[in-house]
């Protein structure tokens, strides 16, 4: 039987900083409190999403790759990554600030964790009026001054903090220090990796464990990028209706923004990659092979590489389009 556009059952993650917007804004069926992350498409070991509809219902991503190989991933992607799915897609909701953290590159992560590195990006879906994020440095620093700021707990004074709002986009390459502040709901696209180096956590105690969370300062200092981006850290992008507008295109993933205001035909014959659609606003419909699939705000869909022609429809929907 032929492959079709795939939806997955989300995996919900307790986080001490988690809120309730995944349920109240994105309509996720959540019965627990402090759920900070919804893993939408994951092949991380132990956290593999299962298909939620169709004859492949219950199959995990690794099982799909084993069975369909290039037809699912694309020839180039399969040659590059083999049986590993290269991306992890999440929604993140922060009622409290995240720890100040950063991620290693591929070489360092492979050496110490047998993992991919973690390049990532954020698309802000909703932000409270006073919501802020931390991305990069605001003041010149080096390993010595950075270590001293951690010791005397003045690190926040070195960092670039800025107000954020719906539609903001930030690229978080490996080594870039960052933290999501309280009151933010965002979509995150990242390499398949769960390696995070915390450097500062406000001396908080996790009520679920009764202990402070582990810090990873030595490894963080090995890989941190102290460069200041003179042009700022927010990504500017066009938003032409019914077009794929480039957001963040890197060697690890390519994300575009589609403001859908009617109907859009897409031809992926030359893409040679699966495509992930993330609905960040409104309601849309994807049609292909004689079938239609609804995609609501807070839902994610994986289009296998073997499907080249689709139609997207929506009156006022915003879609993130992700390939490798």
Catalytically annotated residues: 198
DSSP assignment of 188-256, as one string?
A: EEEES----EEEE-TT-EETTTTEEPPP-HHHHHHH------TT-SBPP----TTS-EEEEE-SS-EEE
Alpha carbon 266 to its chain centroid, in Å, reads 23
Is 120 assigned to a binding site? yes
Query: Could you give the 3-state DSSP secondary structure of residue 71?
Result: helix
* Cα 284 to Cα 295: distance, rounded to the nearest angstrom: 5
> How many CA within 13 A on the CB side of residue 105?
10
In 20-131, the DSSP E strands lie at 35-41, 43-44, 47-48, 50-51, 87-94, 100-102, 120-127
Task: Residue 90: count other Cβ atoms within 10 Å of its Cβ.
Answer: 23
* Cα 155 to Cα 150: distance, rounded to the nearest angstrom: 6
Q: What are phi and psi of 156, to 5 degrees?
A: -60, -30
Is 171 assigned to a binding site? no
- 262 burial via Cβ count (<10 Å: 0-12, 13-18, 19+): exposed
- 313 burial via Cβ count (<10 Å: 0-12, 13-18, 19+): middle
Is 103 assigned to a binding site? yes
* Cα 144 to Cα 142: distance, rounded to the nearest angstrom: 6
Note the helical H segments in 99-162: 106-113, 143-151
Binding site as annotated, residues for Zn(2+): 103, 120, 178
């Amino acid at each position: 039987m032929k492959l079709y556009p795939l939806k997955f059952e989300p995996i919900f993650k307790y986080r001490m900083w988690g809120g309730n917007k995944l349920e109240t804004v994105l309509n996720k069926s959540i019965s627990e409190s402090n759920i900070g992350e919804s893993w939408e498409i994951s092949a991380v070991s132990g956290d593999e999403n299962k298909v939620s509809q169709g004859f492949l219902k219950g199959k995990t991503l690794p099982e799909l790759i084993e069975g369909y190989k290039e037809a699912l991933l694309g020839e180039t992607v399969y040659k590059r990554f083999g049986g590993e799915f290269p991306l992890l897609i999440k929604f993140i909701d922060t009622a409290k600030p995240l720890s100040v953290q950063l991620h290693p590159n591929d070489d360092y992560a492979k050496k110490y964790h047998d993992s991919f590195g973690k390049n990532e990006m954020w698309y802000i879906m909703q932000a409270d009026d006073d919501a802020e994020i931390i991305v990069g440095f605001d003041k010149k620093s080096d390993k010595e001054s950075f270590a001293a700021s951690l010791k005397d707990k003045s690190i926040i004074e070195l960092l670039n903090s800025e107000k954020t709002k719906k539609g903001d986009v930030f690229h978080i390459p490996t080594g870039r220090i960052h933290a999501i502040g309280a009151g933010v709901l965002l979509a995150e696209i990242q390499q398949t990796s769960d390696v995070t180096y915390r450097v500062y956590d406000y001396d908080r105690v996790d009520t679920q464990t009764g202990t402070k969370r582990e810090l990873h300062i030595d490894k963080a200092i090995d890989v941190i990028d102290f460069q200041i981006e003179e042009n700022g850290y927010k990504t500017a992008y066009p938003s032409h209706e019914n077009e794929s507008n480039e957001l963040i295109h890197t060697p690890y993933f390519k994300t575009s923004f589609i403001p859908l205001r009617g109907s859009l035909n897409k031809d992926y014959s030359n893409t040679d990659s699966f495509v992930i659609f993330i609905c960040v606003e409104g309601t849309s419909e994807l049609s292909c092979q004689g079938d239609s699939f609804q995609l609501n705000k807070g839902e994610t869909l994986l289009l296998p590489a073997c499907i080249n022609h689709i139609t997207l429809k929506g009156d006022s929907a915003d879609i993130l389009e992700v390939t490798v």
